[in-house]
Amino acid sequence: MHKLVIHGGAGVPDRGAMTTEREALTRVALAAALAAGDAVLRGGGSSLDAVETAVAALEDCPLFNAGRGSAFTDEGFVEMEASIMDGRSRRSGAASLLHRVRNPVRLARRVMDCSPHAMLAGEAAERFAEGQKLPLERPDYFHTAERWDAMVRLRERGGAPRFEDQLADSGRGMGTVGAVALDRHGDLAAATSTGGLAAKWAGRVGDTPVVGAGVYADNETCAVSCTGQGEYFLRGTVAYDVAARMAYLDLAIEVAAAAALQERMADAGGLGGLIALDRRGNCALPFNTPGMYRGWVGEDGERRVFIYE
C-alpha cells in the first residue's frame, strides 16, 4: 500500500477573486506534483524520496509561494525555508533564510543525510548547498511580477504583514507547500517548503523549518505538513500536536488533525490548514481559510485535486 498527499497552501483567495485560468493552471500543477511523487512510490521508492520529489515540483512552479514563486521580504529579496522528516527514524533536516537555492527541500534533505545537524541557515546553508552540488540561482530566477507587486503594496501599508491582508491582496493567495507520504514498506515522511509572508521583515523565520510546528513524521502515528500563519503554528506546535493526540488519546487521524488545528491554532486567532497521513493510509486535510490547494493519490492511481470545500 502507498499514498501521497500534497498541499499548495491554505492562503487561497475567495472564489470571486480566483480567475478560471488561474484555477485551471493550479490544478494542472498540483496534479503534476502528485504524478511526480506517485511515480517514486510506484517504482518502489521511499516515502522520503516521494515527498522530496513532490515538493520540489511545487517549488519549481511559480504559481506557489515556495522556490521559484517565493514571496519577497520588505527589503526586496526572497528568504526561503524548508524541512523534511523521516517517520521511521524521526531524523529531520531543515534550511532557512535562503536566497539562492533553487529547491530548498533538496537542501533540507542533504542537511538531514549529509550533515551532523538538523538545521542550517543563511549564507552557511548556501555554502553547504554549493558543496553538495545543488543548483543555485540568480535573484531574477525567483522574481515574479505578482509577488513583487504584492510586496510593494503591503509594504506601503506599513506595520507587520498580516495573513488576512495577503489573502485579500492576491488573486492567487499566499501559502506554503508540502507533502506527506506512506510507502510500501510502511514508512511515513513529511516535507514542507515556503517563501513566507509577503513584505515580512528580513530575517523572519516561520514554522516551516521547525520540527513539531510546520512538519512532523513518526511511523507510530502520522506525518504532517502545515500551512498558514507560521507564528500560530510555532506557538501551538501544531504538527506534533496531531501526532500527540493520536499517541496519547488514541484518536483517529481525522479527529486529531481537526482538534489540533482548532484548539492549538484557530482558537488563538490563526488562519491556515494542514495535511496529515497515518500508517494505514488514512488522511486528514482540515483548514479554516476559504480553501486550501490540495490533492492525493493512492493505489488506484487516480489523482484527486481540490481547492475549495
Give catalytic residue positions.
Answer: 176
Report the helix count and the strand count for the chain, using DSSP H and E.
Answer: 9, 12
Residue written as cell 517549488? Answer: 59
Strands 92-98 and 80-86: antiparallel
**Residues in CB range of 123: below 8 A, 6 or more apart:** none
Q: How many CA atoms lie within 13 A of 27 on its CB side?
A: 13
Burial class (CB in 10 A: 0-12, 13-18, 19+), 309: exposed
Q: How far is CA 23 from CA 117, 221, 288, 298, in A?
A: 39, 34, 20, 23
Residue pair 227/11 in contact (Cβ under 8 Å)? The answer is yes
Sheet bearing 304-306, strands edge to edge? 119-121, 92-98, 80-86, 188-194, 177-182, 3-9, 293-297, 304-306
Of 42, 258, 77, 119, nearest in space to 50 by CA: 42
Phi, psi at residue 171, to the nearest 5°?
Answer: -80, 0
In the structure grid, which three cell numbers stand for residue 121, read together?
541557515
Query: How far does the chain reach from its first CA to its final CA, in angstroms?
Result: 27
